[in-house]
């Protein structure tokens, strides 16, 4: 069924992907080629036409081997994660699958839980991160965690505290860190307040209510800015202050990329406005 719903470009790109699929099109983590095909076919129009994502620095993501893609959470719903996933699939040649570390609460939800597994988006556990990196896979981590998606519109583009677990795992596995900034998610889904009773009912940390009330992201142009890989020396058993210093360097780089991304967006908007006035 899924195959019929997969577009031809996605099929071609999936054929170039170097995942160890078995005869059923499944890899050892339960990632399904058919499900990838279906979901990337759904993401393609969102990525190209709805959010019109512009990607900078895709060459900074390693073509093979392990790597940790680390960035800011942007907006009340994970538009950022799905667009990063799409950018690495549609812009890299050959395409790669980036494994997200999903919040644990989502694993209890019917339909959502197996869909995440088939897409290679595993529960956010250190065991999964270590194993995937040792298997030379690419990992996507938002070190702000649920705190990041809980930010209100007035706190947009201000990163909150980064967890430190990702750094110990990067050191333990020798994986490079590729920092990125996601711009546009805060405007696509500007969170005004949280519906706490509904969140409690669903077992979710937040149910964000956007400015435009309807819980659907707006068609705002987004951009992703990947920075150069960062390498750190160590084995993951360093003292907390050493790790916190490394994490601060990553956060600082993400903040710089956010600033660069916002400046470049302002310039682009100015150019577009000037063009319209000239017309």
Partner 1 sequence: MRVLVTGIVGGLGQAVTEQLLLQGHQVMGIDRRGWPDAPDGVEVVEADIRKRPAEDVFRTFKPEGLIHLATVTHFSARPSERFRINLGGTRAIFDHCHKYKVKTAVFVGRHTVYGAAPDAPLYRTEQEPPLGAATFPELADLVAADLFAGAALWRWPKLNTSVLRIVYALGPSGRGTLGGYLAGQKVPTVAGFDPLFQFIHERDAAVAIRLALEKKLRGIYNVEGPPPVPLNQLCWGTNRQPIPIPQPLFRHVLGRFGFPKLPPGAIEHIKHPVVIDGQAFREATEFKYEYDEVAIMDGFRWVERK
Binding region for partner 1 (CB under 8 A): 22-24, 26-30, 32, 104, 107-111, 113-114, 117-118, 122-123, 125, 127-128, 131
Specify the residue, 30 or 57, whose C-beta has the smaller distance to partner 1: 30
Among residues 189, 170, 204, 192, the alpha carbon closest in space to that of 82 is found at 189
CA distance 259 to 244: 22
When the beta carbons of 106 and 218 are compared against partner 1, the nearer one is 106
**How far apart are alpha carbons 59 and 226 in whole angstroms?**
8
Extended beta strands in the chain, E state: 54-56, 67-71, 98-102, 122-123, 138-141, 177-183, 191-194, 208-210, 223-226
Instruction: For the CB of residue 128, give the shortest distance to partner 1 in the complex, in Å.
Output: 6
Alpha-carbon gap, residue 11 to 37, rounded angstroms: 6
Can you list the alpha helix ranges (DSSP code H) found in 47-195?
79-91, 112-118, 126-134, 146-149, 165-173, 185-188
Distinct helix (H) and strand (E) counts, the chain = 10, 9
CB of 93 to partner 1, least distance (A): 28
- How far is Cα 60 from Cα 63, in angstroms, rounded to an integer? 9
The residue among 89 and 117 lying less far from partner 1, judged by its C-beta, is 117
Closest CB to partner 1 among residues 21, 157 = 21
Closest distance between partner 1 and the C-beta of residue 113, in Å? 6
Closer to partner 1 by CB, 28 or 45: give it.
28
- Least distance to partner 1, CB of residue 99, Å: 11
- Closest distance of CB 202 from partner 1, Å: 14
**Alpha carbon 77 to chain centroid, angstroms:** 11
To 10 degrees, what angle do helices 8-16 and 33-45 make? 130
Closest approach of Cβ 139 to partner 1, in Å? 14
Q: How far is CA 19 from the centre of its chain?
A: 20
Tokens at residue 154, please? Answer: 């007035």
Tell the smallest beta-carbon distance from residue 204 to partner 1 (Å).
Answer: 13
Q: Looking at beta carbons only, is 61 or 133 nearer to partner 1?
A: 133
Nearer to partner 1, 117 or 180 (CB): 117
């Amino acid at each position: 069924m899924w195959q019929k719903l997969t577009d031809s470009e996605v099929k071609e790109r999936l054929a170039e992907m170097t995942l160890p699929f078995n005869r059923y099109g499944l890899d050892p983590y339960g990632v399904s080629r058919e499900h990838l095909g279906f979901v990337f076919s759904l993401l393609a129009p969102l990525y190209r036409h709805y959010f019109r994502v512009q990607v900078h620095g895709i060459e900074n993501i390693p073509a093979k081997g392990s790597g940790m893609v680390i960035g800011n959470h942007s907006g009340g719903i994970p538009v950022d994660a799905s667009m990063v996933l799409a950018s690495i699939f549609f812009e890299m040649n050959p395409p790669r699958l980036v494994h997200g570390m999903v919040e644990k609460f989502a694993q209890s939800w019917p339909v959502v839980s197996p869909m995440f597994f088939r897409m290679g988006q595993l529960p956010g556990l250190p065991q999964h991160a270590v194993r995937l990196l040792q298997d030379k896979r690419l990992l996507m981590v938002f070190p702000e965690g649920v705190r990041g998606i809980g930010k209100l519109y007035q706190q947009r583009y201000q990163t909150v505290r980064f967890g430190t677990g990702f750094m110990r795992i990067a050191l333990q596995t020798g994986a490079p860190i590729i920092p990125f900034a996601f711009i546009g998610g805060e405007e696509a889904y500007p969170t005004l307040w949280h519906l706490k009773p509904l969140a409690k009912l669903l077992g979710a940390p937040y149910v964000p209510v956007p400015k435009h009330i309807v819980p659907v992201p707006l068609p705002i142009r987004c951009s992703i800015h990947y920075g150069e890989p960062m390498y750190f020396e160590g084995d993951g058993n360093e003292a907390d202050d050493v790790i916190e210093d490394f994490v601060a360097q990553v956060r600082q780089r993400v903040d710089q990329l956010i600033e660069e991304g916002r400046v470049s967006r302002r310039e682009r908007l100015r150019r577009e406005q000037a063009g319209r006035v000239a017309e």
